[in-house]
Amino acid sequence: MNHVFRTVQPPEVGAPVANDPDDGEAEYTTPVVVAAPSPRELVDSAAIAWREALAATAGSSTLADVDRLGDAVLDLTAAHPSGLAQLLAGRPARLSNLVRESASLSATLRRARAVRVKGEEFAQRFGVAPAYLAIGIATWTEPEEPGDVADAGRSEAAVDGQSAPRLVRAPVLLRPASLRPRTHLAGDDELSLEDPVEINPFLARSLRRRGALLDPSAVGRACFTAAGFDPRPALDHLRALGAAVLPDFRLEYRLLVGTFVHPGQVLLDDLEVQLPQWDTRAVIAALAGDLDARAALARPLAQPVRGDRDPDLERGVGNLDPLQQHVLDVVASGRDVFLDAPVGADSAGTLAAIIADVTASGRSVLYVPGHRRAASAVLARLDALGLAGLALDIAPDAGWRAAVARRLLSGLTPEPVLIDEDALSRTRAGLVTRRAQLAGYVDALHRVRVPWNASAYDVLQELARLTASPNGPRTTVRLPTEVARGMTTTRRAPSLPVTSNEPPLSAPSRSARAPRRGTAPT
């Protein structure tokens, strides 16, 4: 355990004792042992900074104020009944069928483009595009609470130490939506909805914090009846709960499409949930400043394997270089590592090899890309290697739930893959033979020969140097074997060229060279 020592001055006899041990007037001259912060305290302290960084990334959440969406919101409250019925029934609907007035349609299409741009930005930066149809807007007044995760970007105001009230305008029910342009019909967009219905988590937390008994799953299921989708019973239930526990609660029926959940807000909520268990993670404690955890993680890595590997012992898939093979060895050892891939490195191939190796070991791996392009590159590499079935892609669109469900169901009954073991064994045996031949060629090329004390590689290098010189030798004389054998190091020394201003004998001038064909020497 690390300790901190400080020197303070003891009080005089009869002097009053200060209540604050850190008070400068109550310092002692004897050392006082102050225990170093525990891993839990370090993680809690670091989590404050992490939380602030995520809050700055997420900004102000639209879960507490729908007006923060600005123009990136599509209001379908007054949509045409026939088109709206088609949409709520789960069938795709064109915006021209939802808004049939030409003047209103142009404004609707402009807002739809703003919603798509915001969703594409989230998809590229965070890998998710949380577009929803918000059903109902709830309004109430509640006091400002420090550290509120739903509105972390909002400045805190306090009067006489009391939290100032604030007006909340939050969506009530959220149904995943997908808005995409129609490729075969320019100037029109298509809107579709998915089946799951969620309650705004900010509204649910506010109700539960004030004692309301709420089952979000039951409320979501109540929207789907035998007659179809009908959110009004769920809205009536939430209106009654809100009026009972939330001050100045009102609920109006509105239909808005927008990106109501920022991915940074999702990370912020996940941080709050995972924080109690983080002090048991060595990586988290090390990031928080725990010296013991850092020392445990700073153990040296195993040295890379030199030379060619046995094909039966190779890891991963694809054509991997020795450094990529070393990465697989380190990952398989269970160490916590950070891989820094330089620009131009085959990052997709390394990740595909890690996924294949982990899967072959009977484990699973979660890959969270920094942007969607990285995920697409890894999926393309797995597909090129014939291993597309190893990955379950959670695509950044509203239909990912249904796609994941279908993928999981198809994975329960996979088709058997036939492997020709004999052909595989022959291929590996041939690879070992070719490697041995190449290794023999390399050894013979670099073997030092007696009595010349030089290798064939040295001879090739010297010939390359001579022929690259503009005044290099042009002789066509070939030495017999007996003469070459007698050119030992001792006998070659007297014949080495002497540095002088005169041109070397082996490089005659242009006039002394052999005449051209068809001419006579002068």
pLDDT tens for 109-138 read 888 888 888 888 877 777 677 789 999 999
Buried b (16+ CB within 10 A) or exposed e, 279-307: bebeebbbbbebeebeeebeeeeeeeeee
Token code pair at residue 262:
């920022």
Q: Is the pTM of this model over 0.85?
A: no
Cα separation, 274 vs 272, in Å, equals: 6
* Mean pLDDT, residues 494-503: 49
CB neighbour burial string for 442-474, b if at least 16 within 10 angstroms, e if fewer: eeeeeeeeeeeeeeeeeeeeeeeeeeeeeeeee
Flag whether pLDDT at 198 surpasses 50.
Answer: yes
3-state SS record for 277-312: HHHHCHHHHHHCCCHHHHHHHCCCCCCCCCCCCCHH
**Per-residue pLDDT tens digits for 131-180:** 899 999 999 987 765 445 444 444 444 444 455 678 889 999 999 888 88
**What is the predicted pLDDT for the residue at 484?**
79
**Residue position matching structure tokens 């930005």:** 121
State percent of the chain over pLDDT 90.
18
CA distance 26 to 41: 26
Tens of pLDDT, residues 381-413? 999 998 988 888 887 776 777 788 888 888 787
Neighbours of 116 (CB within 10 A): 18
Query: Residue 385 carries which DSSP code?
Result: T
Identify the residue whose tokens are 């073991």. Answer: 421
Q: What is the pLDDT of residues 246-278, one digit of tens each?
A: 999 999 999 999 988 767 777 777 887 887 777
CA atoms of 111 and 92, how far apart (whole Å): 18
For the segment 56-106, what is each residue's pLDDT rounded down to a tens digit?
766 567 888 888 888 888 999 989 999 999 998 888 899 888 998 888 888
pLDDT at 189: 87
Positive or negative torsion for Cα 61, 66, 68, 73: positive
> Is the CB of residue 324 less than 8 Å from the CB of residue 316?
yes
d(CA 225, CA 247): 31
Q: How many Cβ atoms are within 10 Å of 219's Cβ, its own excluded? A: 22
Select from 43, 271, 322, 104 the least CA-distant residue to 112: 104
Q: What is the pLDDT of residue 7?
A: 45
| Domain range annotation of the chain | 3-36, 37-59+262-298, 60-261, 299-339+346-401
Strand pairing partners for 5?
33
Q: How far is CA 188 from CA 97, 98, 131, 152, in A?
A: 10, 11, 18, 36
